[in-house]
Amino acid sequence: MELDHEVEYKYWPHPADTVTIEEVVSDEEATLQVFTDGSKQEQGVGVGAVIFKGGELVAKVWLKLDNRCPNN
């Protein structure tokens, strides 16, 4: 579920409900690297993550959170 507008927190989708895991059967081996970070400052709270597969960037996400949220 993509949210492109402000939604009251009680209606936020649970993260486990928004992830799709696909298993591909092959002889290919790839290293996955996931980097995450969070920040809480006077300007607001935010989190982000990037995923690399075999050294290539395959996904990135960053989210602004409600100011009540911790950064972790």
Question: Do residues 13 and 1 touch, judged by C-beta distance below 8 A?
Answer: yes
For position 40, what pLDDT does the model report? 87
For position 15, what pLDDT does the model report? 67
For position 63, what pLDDT does the model report? 87
Sequence-separated (6 or more) residues with CB below 8 Å from residue 15: none
| pLDDT tens, per residue, the chain with 72 residues | 555 677 787 777 776 676 677 777 777 777 889 999 988 888 888 889 999 988 899 999 988 888 888 766
- The pair of structure tokens assigned to 9 is 């927190």
pTM: 0.54
For position 19, what pLDDT does the model report? 65
Rg of the chain (C-alpha set) = 15
